[in-house]
Amino acid sequence: MSRRIVIVGGGASGTLVATHLAQQATQALDVLIVEPRPRLGEGVAYSTTDDQHLLNVPASGMSALLDDSQHFARWASVDGDAFVPRRKYADYLRQTLASSVGGNSRVALRHVQLPAQHVSVSPLVVTAGDTDLQADAIVIALGNAAPTCPDWVNRLDASRVVRDPWQLGALDQIADGARVLCIGTGLTFVDVAVTLAGRGCRVTATSRHRLLPTVHAPASAANSTAGASNSTAGALPHSFSTPGDVACWVRNQPDWRAAFAALRPETQRIWRGFGDGGQRQFLRHARRYWDVHRHRMAPEVARLLDDHIARGNVRIQPESAHDLAQSPEFDVVVLCTGPDDTLALTCPPLSSLLAVGQARSGPHAMGIDTDADTGQLLSANGEPVPGVYAIGPMRRGTLWESTAIPEIRSEARRLAALLLV
């Protein structure tokens, strides 16, 4: 008798779980991926069709397979330090999944092209459209939520606001040459600015910090500091008591990029060690500075953005986003803020679990609460929810570092092994 696992969400996280299930299965297994998009592997991150939108990690860091760091680089026929267009990564994920399923006759895969509307726990069922999908285990792999929307944005003319720039066709609705205000200056803004400025739009961004993402070192510089990365990793303390200890350690390293590389494999452990108070301190005082150093731009993208800024096509201002958005200076307002986890929890299918106490908000209102080691959902009273797991960005509150491919592929492999026992 086949075991059936239903994965809710078919972006990178869901596709990687399915890939590792297919690679590890030794008995009959049915994998159902509930994803309304026509193609798997895309989600928010990799659905773009603009070749100027590059991965913000070199190819050597994007393998779907934990034990083969160059798997993606070979597939893409590039050097490991190359930054590849993001749309190609979705193709890679689909092909890797297809190859994994095709190489294991015990595994059957089905893409249910419908939105998941409801998840029930007893029995385990995912409702998609008019279909109830029985499951032996359910994996919630919904990825990032839509951008956070400040309350005052709701009072603007809705026709002037792009709430989610990654919705299909959202940027295509902005006229060439439009005057655009972007709220936020993170990686989403960078992609939006590069696309719109290339179409003759005048793009202004505003944020309290005016901080842009930093830039990956050029390949030659990265290679020359490889030894420094190794020595820095060796000097990493066994533990950090507070976020201030981490900041102090980074400042004392000869190369901050190498220091972040050394921290990367230990970030989840460090985050958990902070405890509630230390985590709040980090979120209050250091989160933005961490983000701009941790989530970096490809050098090619940075050069393109710098050129647009130099020519006056893109500018960054510290003024109030509220005041600028209400001025007649701008035709369109685009939200480039971080994901709104609260919104995700109030929408299907997570809302159905919350309504019956079979899920709860994650630490610091980020994502959903999960067991740190297994990814199993925690109920309203903190008990593990039998048979229901989460992976990827929805575990941000529990693990902090859970949104990038190196962490997600590790989670996917561990979760697949757990589900197949």
- Give tens-digit pLDDT for 97-112: 999 999 999 999 999 9
Per-residue pLDDT at 218 exceeds 90: no
Per-residue pLDDT at 341 exceeds 90: no
Per-residue model confidence (pLDDT) at position 225: 41
On whether both 240 and 281 belong to a single domain, the answer is yes
- Give tens-digit pLDDT for 172-215: 999 999 999 999 999 999 999 999 999 999 999 998 888 999 99
On whether both 178 and 107 belong to a single domain, the answer is no
Alpha helices in 148-266 (DSSP H): 187-197, 219-224, 226-234, 243-251, 256-263
CA neighbor of 193 nearest in space, from 78, 80, 316: 316
For residue 322, give the H/E element and its range: helix 321-326
On whether both 111 and 46 belong to a single domain, the answer is yes
Phi and psi, residue 332, nearest 5°: -140, 145
- Give tens-digit pLDDT for 221-241: 555 444 434 444 447 888 899
Domain that holds residue 187: 151-213+296-335
On whether both 200 and 301 belong to a single domain, the answer is yes
Question: Taking all residues of the chain, what is their mean pLDDT, rounded to a whole number?
Answer: 94
Per-residue model confidence (pLDDT) at position 224: 44
> At 1, is the pLDDT very low, low, confident or very high (cuts 50, 70, 90)?
confident
CA angle 18-23-26, nearest 5°? 110
Per-residue model confidence (pLDDT) at position 207: 87
On whether both 42 and 73 belong to a single domain, the answer is yes
Q: What pairs with residue 4 in β-bridges?
A: 30
Per-residue model confidence (pLDDT) at position 338: 87
On whether both 138 and 160 belong to a single domain, the answer is no
On whether both 209 and 239 belong to a single domain, the answer is no
Please tell me the distance from the alpha carbon of residue 92 to that of residue 108, in angstroms, as a whole number. 20
Per-residue model confidence (pLDDT) at position 228: 39
On whether both 182 and 281 belong to a single domain, the answer is no
Q: Which residue has the higher pLDDT, 228 or 359?
A: 359
Per-residue model confidence (pLDDT) at position 12: 97
Please tell me the distance from the alpha carbon of residue 242 to that of residue 414, in angstroms, as a whole number. 29
On whether both 99 and 185 belong to a single domain, the answer is no
On whether both 138 and 84 belong to a single domain, the answer is yes
- Give tens-digit pLDDT for 273-316: 999 999 999 999 999 999 999 999 999 999 999 999 999 999 99
Per-residue model confidence (pLDDT) at position 27: 97
- Give tens-digit pLDDT for 18-48: 999 999 999 999 999 999 999 999 988 899 9
CATH label of the domain that carries residue 380: 3.50.50.60
Please tell me the distance from the alpha carbon of residue 115 to that of residue 237, in angstroms, as a whole number. 45
On whether both 223 and 74 belong to a single domain, the answer is no
Per-residue model confidence (pLDDT) at position 220: 55
pTM attached to this predicted model: 0.94
Read off the pLDDT of each residue in 124-136 and give the average, rounded to a whole number.
97
On whether both 289 and 351 belong to a single domain, the answer is no
Phi and psi, residue 131, nearest 5°: -110, 130
> Number of folded domains in the chain?
3
Per-residue model confidence (pLDDT) at position 221: 52
What tokens does 78 get?
A: 């590039």
